[in-house]
Amino acid sequence: MDIVRLAINNARLTISALLFLLVAGWVAYQSTPKEAEPDVPIPMMYVSLIYQGISPEDSERLLLRPMESKLKSLKGLKEMRSAAFQGGGYVLVEFQPQTDLATALQDTRSKVQDAKADLPQAAEEPTVNEVNVSEFPVLVVTLSGDVPERVLTAAARELRDRIEEVPGVLEGSLQG
């Protein structure tokens, strides 16, 4: 209760302190840079593995497991995700935020080079690409149903055109 009594007894000091804090807060807010869509660098690498004709099960066993075993020893590794599909697979490697992108890219390429010896001879050369999260779509819409493909395609085109009309939308695209 002493602080309340002090504030009441010194009303001018309390009001002056309040005004000072409001002005200082307003000045700090105005001087802080603001951006609608800031480019936040997240150190991520995408390793693509292609082997024509391989099944998803074999892709996981012959491509992804050997690659993951080498990549898991990367310095600063935060998370690693992979997916196998018909004809190949990919590994998405995410590093801690303070990790240097150039070093992470170089280390990832080195580990991929080491893992090549464990991959099948017929597999294509693995590729390593830096992932720029700001280039990814903000919205993904999936259409499916028990209708002919041409009906889905027509509906998808119409939806894409309507989405592209929204202010601020750069591009809409169809896949699949």
Question: Per residue in 111-136, pLDDT tens?
Answer: 999 999 999 999 999 999 988 766 66
Each residue's pLDDT tens digit, 25-55: 999 999 998 776 666 777 899 999 999 999 9
Q: Give 137's pLDDT tier (boundaries 50, 70, 90).
A: low
Rounded CA gap, 81 and 90, in Å?
Answer: 8
Whichever domain contains 86, its CATH number is 3.30.70.1430
The H or E element spanning position 77 is strand 77-85
Look at the chain and report how many structural domains it folds into.
3
Tokens representing residue 168 in the block: 């601020």
d(CA 119, CA 67): 8
* Same-domain status, 50 and 129: yes
pTM, entire model: 0.59
The residue segments making up the domain with residue 164 are: 137-176
Is 38 within a domain? no
Same domain, 77 and 157: no
Tell which residue, 32, 100, 74, 163, has the closest CA to residue 91: 74
Q: Is residue 155 very low, low, confident or very high in pLDDT (cuts 50, 70, 90)?
A: very high
51 in a structural domain: yes
CA gap 20, 14 in Å, rounded: 10
Burial 71-95 (b: 16+ CB within 10 A, else e): beebeebeebebebeeebbbbebbb
Helix (H, G, I), strand (E, B) or coil at 124: coil
Residue with tokens 């480019």: 39
Q: Are residues 116 and 165 in the same domain?
A: no
Retrieve residue 135's tokens.
């280039």
Residue 37 falls inside a structural domain: no
Looking at residue 88, its pLDDT comes to 93
